[in-house]
Amino acid sequence: MKEFRHSRRSSFGSFIIDGNETILGFDQALEELTGWPAIEVVGHHKDLKGLLPQSSVNRPAPLYDGRMPLDPLPANIEVRLNCRDGRGLDVEALFRPLNGPGERMLITVLRVLASSSGTKPSSEAEGFDPLTGLLDRAGFASRLSIDFANAAVAAHPMSLILLDVDHLRTVNDRWGRIRGDEVLRKLAGILRVTADDESRIARLGDDDFGVLLTNGGRGEARQIAAALRSKVERYRFFRTEESGQLPQVTISLGAASFPADADTELELIERAEDALNEARSMGRNRVWCYLRRPRVPVQVPVFFDCSDSVLLGYMRDLSPSGIFLQTTAGIDVGMRCALAFPLPGIDGRVHVVGRVVRTVPPEVSDQGDVRVPGLGVEFERFGGSGDRRAIDTFLHGRESTSRRPETGILSVNE
């Protein structure tokens, strides 16, 4: 699968056409994006007649669908590109007329919005959804079991994101099931270009989807879920015939992580479902990460976990999934640190490996108050099962009857 999300390019390639839509230029970046060699397409009409994509034996696919605008002014447009292997890419491109004869136009691909699968499985293909080409519920359950077992053995984090389309029934009732299916197919395309691995994305039900992140904790899950929500909210899924309007489609997402939020595969599923229910209950079109229990204040020294104790700073609060550490140490977001710290009433030190997910620099406010500098650290591995239990035991003893239930998630029926 071509990786779009981490590309640092300012563009994904450019091509030039004339007023008759003959391809006059085709750069290397666009070759890589579409799989079409420039030598094969330059000089041909955009319909590419006679050049069959590798996955098709019935008809040629045009380089792009529809016609380019005739407006002589530069503008951002949305275009559907057809790749040589049969994939379709919905892209945002800059359309810019060029000076000189021939009504030449330069089209530069700025962003890949969605991708369709090049080889759609048949309705009988076991483990795949025929509408979207993604894994189905059974295939996803098998993938989740394998990934969870690997994460537990290798002691690395993983996350599960569950999402559904907000009020898809309204789309089906107002514009028809065909439009609803179009939304689901295009949503699958957005998932493909935003998530890390297409083999870990699934359609779990009518409008329910799941995404697995291997070696990704809550920070990564929150980032990807937020990117998905934002892309779907901005995406133009279809235009209504009667008014030409672009109905807005949104999604709600819930995420949970191992080992921060769950000890077992079943707990990971249940807590991602709890988080999704919370996102729905809060008005939809939002992301919610599972939270077992609020942080509780605690003042203890925190050390680098090494042969010689090196004081890093002082913990200000603690939760089952991480700490906020008061320190002036210049550690960047993304750094993983081995830490050790004592807990009142618990023998010895707790040992963890955590990832820095946020930093708070020292800052003096207008009132003269100094903001406490520090690091937010998300736990990714515990020294042993005893260290996880020690944190839970300490937090349980600090809980009061006035706090929310242990899950921190309200049970909300739709």
pLDDT digits (tens, 9 = 90+) for 34-52: 888 888 888 889 988 765 5
Is the pLDDT at 351 greater than 60? The verdict is yes
Q: Is the pLDDT of residue 164 over 90?
A: yes
- Fold for 137-289, please state it: Alpha-Beta Plaits (3.30.70)
Instruction: Report the alpha-carbon distance of residue 270 to residue 252 in Å, rounded.
Output: 16
Q: Is the pLDDT of residue 123 over 60?
A: no
pLDDT exceeds 60 at position 364? no
Asked if residue 97 has a cis previous peptide bond (ω within 30° of 0), the answer is no
- Tell me what percent of the residues of the chain surpass a pLDDT of 70: 83
Residue span(s) of the chain under CATH 2.40.10.220 come to 296-398
**pLDDT reported for residue 383:** 83
Most confidently predicted of 35-39, 137-141, 399-403, 409-413: 137-141
Tell me the range of 10-24, 51-65, 124-138, 159-173 where mean pLDDT is highest: 159-173
* Residues 326 and 316 sit within 8 Å (Cβ to Cβ): yes
**Contacts of 274 by beta carbon, 8 Å cutoff, 6+ apart:** 254, 256, 290, 407, 409, 411
**CA 28 from chain center: how many Å?**
28
The pLDDT, as a whole number, for residue 175 is 82
Instruction: Give me the pLDDT at residue 145, please.
Output: 92
- Average of pLDDT values for 108-131? 73
Pairing verdict, β 287-289 and 251-258: parallel
**Mean pLDDT of the region 91-118:** 85
Superfamily of domain 296-398: predicted glycosyltransferase like domains (2.40.10.220)
- Least confident range from 15-19, 115-119, 193-197, 326-330: namely 115-119
Taking only the tens place, the pLDDT of each residue in 238-283 is 766 655 566 788 999 999 998 888 888 999 999 999 999 888 877 8
The boundaries of every CATH 3.30.70.270 domain in the chain are 137-289
Average pLDDT over the chain reads: 81
> How much is the pLDDT for 15?
93
Q: Which pLDDT score, from 0 to 100, does residue 186 have? A: 87
Backbone angles phi, psi at 214, to 5 degrees: -85, 140
Asked if 224 contacts 239 with a C-beta cutoff of 8 angstroms, the reply is no
Distance, CA of 277 to CA of 280 (rounded, Å): 5
14-116: CATH topology is Beta-Lactamase (3.30.450)
Confidence of residue 178 (pLDDT cuts 50, 70, 90): confident
Phi-psi group of 281: left, alpha or beta (phi > 0 → left; psi -120 to 50 → alpha; rest → beta): alpha
- Residue 6 CA to residue 3 CA, distance in Å, equals 7
Q: How far apart are CA 227 and CA 345, in angstroms?
A: 42
CATH 3.30.450.20 domain range(s) in the chain = 14-116
Least confident range of 49-63, 95-109, 137-151, 222-236: 49-63
